[in-house]
Amino acid sequence: MGAEDIISDAAGAISADRFVEIDYDEVIPNNVALGSDRQIQRALEGWRPKYLDWWSGMGPIGYQTSEVYLRTAVGVDPGGWAKFAYVKMPSYRWGILLAPKVEGRTIPFGRHKGEPAWQEVPGEHRALLRRLIVVQGDTEPASVEQQRFLGATAPSLYDMRNLFQVNVEEGRHLWAMVYLLVKYFGRDGREEAEALLERQSGQLDNPRILGAFNERTPDWLSFFMFTFFTDRDGKMQLAALAESGFDPLSRTCRFMLTEEAHHMFVGETGVQRTIEATCAAMVKAGIKDPNDVEAVRKLGVVDLPLLQRKLNFHASVTRDLFGSEISSNAAEAFGSGIKGRFNEANLKGDDHVLADATYPVARVVDGKLVEEQAPALRALNSRLLDDFIADCQGGIDRWNRSIEKAGVAFKFVQPHKGFNRRIGEFAGKRISPAGEVLTEDEWQARSGDWLPNDADMAFISSLMKPCHEPGKYASWIAAPRVGVDNKPGDFEYVKIY
């Protein structure tokens, strides 16, 4: 069976693939010589049908027989990683693609700095490496599960297509981690690969590993905020793992980062277009005060204070994904050459070993916020979190510029690092978005102003009406400036059958 047949016959593909001999290089785009690697083929023969079952059971609800205008990565060169075509999602060719090998690459940090990068798993670091790959892998199907209900309320076919693009690529990122597990971790790796399909987002007895991946993504604003903030955690973590001394992990993450960029684009422009619709409606109706929430909501658009509360929620929940600011796990991952800092190889001005270096970490001491110098090795999560917060600011500044351009007096602000945290230095502390340390009573009295409340969520939910006509958009979101793959405004991104 050739790839074309598979693409053109989605309904049959899942079942048919199980019984015919798979042409690996056709069905699974790859640059790891899958066609001649019997060991991996055997492992994937067991795993792939389970993955397809997971996709049909836990992936997007509905639209599985629709033709979606998707890009598929079939190679890592510029011409190969973005092939656009109508594809039925179950027939998406989930591939295994690693960025090209850099000959002579050395480990850029930690105790092994300067030694040749490992092509096999170093025995002494095996458990740690496996744990990090499993945590990374676990987030990918988790996000698909979180987003599975959204197709039905898509504000346009353009947005629906972007959702499905993100979903299939998260599926591919799961494949990327599964490849590493089954290729390099033997039987343990195969068991972990199966467990990645068994945990479920939000399930009480077998949840996803990290907190944010058990939250609900009930509406499109949540989706856009998630892809802006939480996919950006993906960017930061993948970038840190791309520095790894374990070369196959480094190469895998480097390629995943190219896809991650699109996910953050979907988030940033989704919020941007929401802001544009709000500001345009306010200007048209002559509403000057962004806090006149009742009047703004009557226009069928999202008020800016509500967007700020959504921002506060997603920023804070995502910050928890960086782990404790002070972490011996992070120190060990760095010391052993497994996980570097953001942009490690290009960082100037230190020795990349950090034995004696310090780093300033914010914490609450005697009821006051202070900044203390901590050993840099143990403060690596804190540093990556700071890099993340700085990276978020670029997009937030762009949102603010468009509000200013529309002549509306409102500005989004990132909440203080300690706001609404459950993990790390600030867990159990009550800190306002402005950075005041509060009592529990003060927090209870005011947190409804800072986080989305029930009325907010009910209002958002009331806006979530599907808009599935080509070229049309729901009232609360503006059309994009440019179509996917430069397609015209009325392009039918999803042919719904």
Q: Give contact residues for ligand BYC (rule: CB under 6 A).
A: 131-132, 135-136, 139-140, 143, 170, 210-211, 230-231, 233-234, 237, 320-324, 327, 329-330, 339, 381, 423
Shortest distance, CB of residue 322 to ligand BYC, whole angstroms?
6
Shortest distance, CB of residue 359 to ligand BYC, whole angstroms?
14
Q: Which tokens belong to 333?
A: 């991952």
Shortest distance, CB of residue 485 to ligand BYC, whole angstroms?
23
| CA distances for 310 relative to 225, 271, 335, 452, angstroms | 7, 11, 37, 6
Question: What percentage of the chain's residues is helix, strand, coil (to nearest 5)?
Answer: 55, 10, 40
Shortest distance, CB of residue 121 to ligand BYC, whole angstroms?
16
Tell me the C-alpha distance between 20 and 196, whole Å.
25
Task: Indicate the residue among 10 and 253 with the shorter CB distance to ligand BYC.
Answer: 253
Shortest distance, CB of residue 214 to ligand BYC, whole angstroms?
9
Tell me the C-alpha distance between 115 and 279, whole Å.
55
Task: Indicate the residue among 147 and 156 with the shorter CB distance to ligand BYC.
Answer: 147
Burial 207-226 (b: 16+ CB within 10 A, else e): bbbbebbbbebbbbbbbbbb
Task: Indicate the residue among 290 and 323 with the shorter CB distance to ligand BYC.
Answer: 323
Shortest distance, CB of residue 114 to ligand BYC, whole angstroms?
23
Task: Indicate the residue among 35 and 211 with the shorter CB distance to ligand BYC.
Answer: 211
In single-letter form, the type of residue at position 115 comes to E
Task: Indicate the residue among 112 and 235 with the shorter CB distance to ligand BYC.
Answer: 235
Name which of 486, 485, 481, 479 is nearest 156 in CA terms. Answer: 479
Task: Indicate the residue among 134 and 396 with the shorter CB distance to ligand BYC.
Answer: 134
Shortest distance, CB of residue 136 to ligand BYC, whole angstroms?
4
Shortest distance, CB of residue 33 to ligand BYC, whole angstroms?
26
Task: Indicate the residue among 334 and 473 with the shorter CB distance to ligand BYC.
Answer: 334
Burial 246-263 (b: 16+ CB within 10 A, else e): bbbbbbbbbbbbbbbebb
Shortest distance, CB of residue 335 to ligand BYC, whole angstroms?
12
Taking CA 32 as the corner, what is the angle to CA 29 and CA 38, rounded to the nearest 5 degrees?
A: 100
Name which of 191, 208, 185, 217 is nearest 60 in CA terms. Answer: 217
Task: Indicate the residue among 229 and 473 with the shorter CB distance to ligand BYC.
Answer: 229
Shortest distance, CB of residue 201 to ligand BYC, whole angstroms?
11
Residue of minimal CB distance from ligand BYC? 323
Shortest distance, CB of residue 455 to ligand BYC, whole angstroms?
28
Range list of β-strands (E), 348-463: 358-365, 368-375
Task: Indicate the residue among 132 and 193 with the shorter CB distance to ligand BYC.
Answer: 132
Query: In angstroms, what is the C-alpha Rg of the chain?
Result: 23
Compute φ and ψ for 315, nearest 5 degrees: -65, -45
| CA distances for 12 relative to 134, 149, 180, 260, 480, angstroms | 31, 24, 29, 30, 35
Task: Indicate the residue among 232 and 297 with the shorter CB distance to ligand BYC.
Answer: 232
Tell me the C-alpha distance between 497 and 494, whole Å.
9
| CA distances for 337 relative to 102, 243, 259, 330, angstroms | 17, 9, 25, 11
Task: Indicate the residue among 121 and 474 with the shorter CB distance to ligand BYC.
Answer: 121
Tell me the C-alpha distance between 145 and 373, whole Å.
40
**DSSP-derived secondary structure letter, 490:** T
| Contact status, residue 414 vs residue 396, Cβ threshold 8 Å | yes
